[in-house]
Amino acid sequence: MKIIIPSELQIGSRKIKIRISEKALGIADLQAQASIYEDILRLSLKYEGYCRSNAIIFENLLHEIVHFIDRLYMRELEERQVGALGSGLAQALMSMDIEPDFSQIPKESSEDC
């Protein structure tokens, strides 16, 4: 079952924009980036010139959502814990035949796969 990933989500009172952007690769070759100050979550479709699978992009999306939740409510999780939660959630959802559809997310750059 495909689920359409919207261009915006809400966590608490914060509305967070989701964007496809090469800027996600700007900090230490990250594959996704969350900016709590701008309320923007940026995902990259490529890494080192290669197109990334929807499963990996979905995992990065969930990883960054966990970061937002942690920053807004807890401020306790270490990066390895955020990584484990993001990966575990992605695997659990995909094992239930939930497949992400990123077609509704605006692109900030010409990145395409």
Supply angle C-alpha 71, 77, 83, rounded to 5: 100
pLDDT digits (tens, 9 = 90+) for 15-60: 999 988 876 655 545 556 666 568 888 888 887 778 889 999 999 8
Instruction: Delineate the domains of the chain, giving CATH numbers in brackets.
Output: 2-101 (3.30.2010)
- pLDDT recorded at residue 9: 95
Among the listed residues 24, 88, 84, 98, the one whose alpha carbon sits nearest the alpha carbon of residue 54: 98
pLDDT digits (tens, 9 = 90+) for 58-68: 998 999 999 99
Residue with more model confidence, 108 or 83: 83
- pLDDT recorded at residue 97: 96
- pLDDT recorded at residue 42: 85
